Amino acid sequence: MIIGLTGSFGAGKGVVVEYLKQKGFKHYSARDFIFEEAKRRGMDISLGREVTIPVANDLRKQHGPAYIVQQLYAKAVSEGGNAVIESLRAVAEAQFIKDNGGIVWGVDATPELRYQRSVERKSETDNVSFETWKEHEERETNPDDPTKQDLFGTLKISHTIFQNNGTLDELHAQVDRALSSLS
């Protein structure tokens, strides 16, 4: 089974990935794929989103809007077993997973809680004001351009959306219910 995971900033995608890894899923990271491409291009990956967004958008423009996930999906299929591909950022990526028999899950939470979680990660790219953080998220919402990111568009077409406004146990329970419904 292949699960594509999408979600808004700070919603808890990484927490869901770690939980699925405990259940035997192999993790394939779009961020790692994009960082590798940025390094290949000689770019400074310490700049985080300032590098990953343009590189990802360029890859989609050059190779098609689902390119990144297609590459990860092919690797997951070739290696076999259960897999989670994180993080789907473009609608075409989520649609590719669905069209190829995979499941798309989304993770969301209130903006204030997501911002708080982002700040608590202590990543340089998250060390911004709430207003700047919201501007960054809005930059990743491009419904009129399939080669760019559209976080909320991917959430809209997810099979299941986990509302992660509560405890870790509550989130895990949502994941467990979703997994059992697939059996």
Domains, the chain, ordered by start: 2-172 (3.40.50.300)
Average pLDDT, the chain: 92
d(C-alpha 61, C-alpha 66), whole Å: 10
d(C-alpha 26, C-alpha 51), whole Å: 26
d(C-alpha 13, C-alpha 18), whole Å: 9
Please report the pLDDT score of residue 123 as a whole number. Answer: 67
Q: Is the pLDDT of residue 142 over 80?
A: no
Is pTM, for the whole model, over 0.95? Answer: no
Please report the pLDDT score of residue 125 as a whole number. Answer: 60
Q: What is the pLDDT of residues 41-58, one digit of tens each?
A: 999 988 887 888 899 989
Please report the pLDDT score of residue 132 as a whole number. Answer: 86
Q: Which of 26 and 117 is assigned the larger pLDDT?
A: 26
**Dihedral of the CA atoms 120, 126, 128, 134 (nearest 10)?**
-100
